């Protein structure tokens, strides 16, 4: 089951973040010249602690979950002129609705029947109610006794055991699957234990959040170095 919404998500170690949070965004530009544009943004935000809002039983298109401090919002959106619907996390108080993370980047929902839930194994499952088709899943490799999904103040969507507030024990987290935006506390590089490759990739276009022509990553071989790729 999924617990009711709560702010009571704490850890023994409090994480403080400066008021100005640095973010990195990768943009692909294919006209005029082929180049990689890295944009940095400074947002005046309050100090963050490890608190969050828990998803209810599920959310459907038209409903959202907001982090405890009302900095980030999780829900469904359509980018630009696209008719496709996507599960995403964006800045709640940003008039331009800047999207920081997209779940189903490669598989847009063709109508407004998107439905996100968490199953008994602890996997987030995004499906279309109209067809009952599974569009995207977090595919948890292990199970939890009481899995809950929480949107943290950092913008990280996590799946954890309801009674375990240790970040090291998160079953799944969106920060392990960055898109085109680097948020504070995200990592770039490679997890040598799980094999996860943390890198940024541009959108194909302002209407399509699928991975585009440019990536930004850390090469862990020898002395770590960052490099950009384009196709």
Q: How far is CA 22 from CA 44, 64, 87, 125, 162, in A?
A: 10, 25, 24, 31, 31
* Residues of the chain above pLDDT 90, percent: 52
- pLDDT confidence band for 165 (50 / 70 / 90): confident
Least confident of 38-42, 60-64, 96-100, 206-210: 38-42
Asked whether the beta carbons of 100 and 90 are under 8 A apart, the reply is: yes
Helix and strand tally (H, E) in the chain?
A: 0, 20
Quick: pLDDT tens for 177-199.
Answer: 999 999 999 998 888 888 889 99
Contacts 24+ apart (CB under 8 A), 29-32: 30/213
Q: List % helix, strand, coil for the chain (3-state, nearest 5).
A: 5, 45, 50
CA–CA distance, 60 with 127 (Å, rounded to integer): 10
Are 47 and 19 spatial neighbours (Cβ–Cβ below 8 Å)? yes
Of 102, 83, 88, the residue nearest 59 (C-alpha): 88
Band (pLDDT 50/70/90 cuts) for residue 141 is confident
Q: Which of 204, 227, 89, 210 is nearest to 153 (CA)?
A: 89
What's the confidence (pLDDT) of residue 230?
Answer: 57
Q: If you average pLDDT over residues 157-163, what whole number do you get?
A: 91
Record the pTM. Answer: 0.78
What confidence tens digit (pLDDT) does each residue in 102-122 have? 999 999 999 999 999 999 889
| CA gap 219, 199 in Å, rounded | 10
Mean predicted confidence (pLDDT) in 206-216: 95
* Residue with tokens 């960052």, as numbered in its chain: 226
């Amino acid at each position: 089951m999924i617990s009711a919404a709560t702010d009571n998500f704490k850890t023994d170690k409090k994480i403080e973040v400066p008021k100005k949070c640095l973010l990195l965004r990768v943009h692909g530009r294919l006209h005029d010249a082929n180049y990689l544009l890295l944009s940095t943004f400074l947002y005046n935000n309050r100090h963050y602690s490890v608190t969050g809002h828990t998803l209810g039983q599920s959310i459907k298109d038209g409903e959202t979950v907001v982090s405890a401090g009302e900095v980030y919002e999780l829900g469904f959106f359509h980018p630009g002129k696209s008719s496709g619907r996507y599960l995403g996390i964006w800045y709640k108080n940003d008039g331009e609705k800047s999207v920081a993370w997209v779940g189903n980047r490669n598989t847009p929902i063709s109508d407004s029947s998107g439905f996100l839930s968490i199953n008994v194994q602890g996997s987030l499952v995004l499906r279309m109610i109209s067809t009952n088709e599974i569009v995207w899943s977090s595919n948890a490799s292990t199970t939890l006794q009481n899995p809950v999904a929480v949107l943290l103040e950092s913008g990280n969507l996590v799946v954890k055991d309801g009674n375990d507030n240790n970040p090291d024990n998160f079953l799944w987290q969106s920060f392990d699957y960055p898109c085109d935006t680097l948020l504070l506390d995200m990592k770039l590089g490679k997890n040598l234990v799980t094999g996860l490759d943390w890198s940024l990739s541009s959108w194909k276009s302002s209407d399509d959040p699928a991975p585009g022509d440019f990536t930004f990553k850390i090469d862990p071989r020898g002395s770590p170095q960052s490099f950009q790729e384009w196709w």
